[in-house]
Amino acid sequence: MRKSFVLLALSLTVVSCNKETNDFIWEKSFGQGNSLFVRAFSDSGIVSCGTVNDNPYLLKLTKDKKTEIEFTSERKGLFSSVWSDTSRFMAGGSSEGKMLLACINKDGSKIWDTVLTAGFNVELTGLSYSGSGNLVAVGTIKPDSSVSGKTGILFVKFDTSGKIIEKKEVVEANLIAANKMTADHSGNIFLPLTRMRAYAKSQASVAKYSAEFNKLWETDLYNNSNFGAASLGIILDDQGNVYVAGNTELSAEEGVLNNSFLVSLASSGSVKWKKYLEKTNSGIALEFDDNDILMMLNTNCFIINMANPEDGSEAGKIRMFDVCNLTETDAFGEDLDLYYDANILVAGSKGGNYYLALKSILQ
């Protein structure tokens, strides 16, 4: 059971792996910012993107983790996803509330970029390759229950030359955001949605759209109207099952806290199981390991929960740091991938800096 592979997010510190103290195999930070996306390739290294000093930023590391390409856009904003082929990088993100698309050469120089305006703000853009030199971009705002005003989803189909083939805006009064995206081999798009409904707190759902950007189904993820919830991460397996990570509020002695959740749905959109895995945290990204165990990265302290995809039963936990206060941490996870040696590659921010780290999958 492997996921459907689709791309959607200087002081150097290097430490040796110590399984008893949970040290990193490798870690690196790059100036003030946040890494929103990371992918590892067995033949060519690591690609990551995000924002550094409030500018969209793309980074390419070699297989031995040396910096090969750094690209910083002259625009303000961020990159939140990357797709690449043998000759270029395609990056999606946002600039001043507009969708930002960019094409960057393998030498790190800009070929072209463009911004697309919608009838609502766009803060994140996910990318997927749809074949024949065409890509699909999906843009929304960030999940945040304080958001007000018009929101929506901007669907864009474009080619590697920057030609816009199709553009569609979906405006719904109660929509807040789709934090990440993925797509299947038929071009269907799956989005983890966070909605604000009238007189209720934010609610979590997941939706499937066709390759023509028409909604096929949407499933509510067992929301309690008294507590807020958000859908944040999503992945598919080869059987068409959908897995969504996010958070929901819960009451505790210290007040209302987030609790990360993990949900499995059949290809039809029906819920198979739902598990609550990490108190005072939010599930942000998903990946399968080489044994087909589902890994969920949490935002606070980069904690990873392991789960059996068949029933959601716990299969272990990886703590990135020995000591990390979940409520006061400066270490925030955004994305993860499996490195070519089966260890875990994570992206996010630490101490306010753009941050990448490689962690042993062994406990």
Same domain, 68 and 80: no
Same domain, 174 and 89: yes
d(CA 108, CA 58): 9
Flag whether 160 is in a domain. Answer: yes
Neighbours of 148 (CB within 10 A): 9
318: domain CATH number is 2.40.10.480
Using alpha carbons, list the distances in angstroms from residue 148 to 120, 140, 272.
11, 13, 33
d(CA 287, CA 289): 7
Looking at residue 339, what is its pLDDT? 93
- Give the predicted TM-score (pTM) of the model: 0.92
Flag whether 46 is in a domain. Answer: yes
Looking at residue 252, what is its pLDDT? 65
Same domain, 148 and 101: yes
Q: Among 148, 178, 208, give the residue marking a domain's end.
A: 178
d(CA 13, CA 180): 29
CB 315 within 8 A of CB 279: no
Looking at residue 21, what is its pLDDT? 39
Flag whether 270 is in a domain. Answer: yes
Looking at residue 198, what is its pLDDT? 66
Looking at residue 344, what is its pLDDT? 95
Flag whether 14 is in a domain. Answer: no
Q: Among 159, 178, 197, give the residue marking a domain's end.
A: 178
Flag whether 1 is in a domain. Answer: no
Q: For the chain, first and last CA: distance in Å?
A: 23
Looking at residue 4, what is its pLDDT? 41
d(CA 83, CA 103): 10
Same domain, 156 and 102: yes
Same domain, 256 and 346: no
Flag whether 244 is in a domain. Answer: yes
d(CA 130, CA 238): 17
Domain span at residue 152?
74-178
Looking at residue 149, what is its pLDDT? 74
How many domains does the chain fold into? 3
Residues of the chain with pLDDT under 50: 2-21
Same domain, 59 and 139: no
Same domain, 60 and 79: no
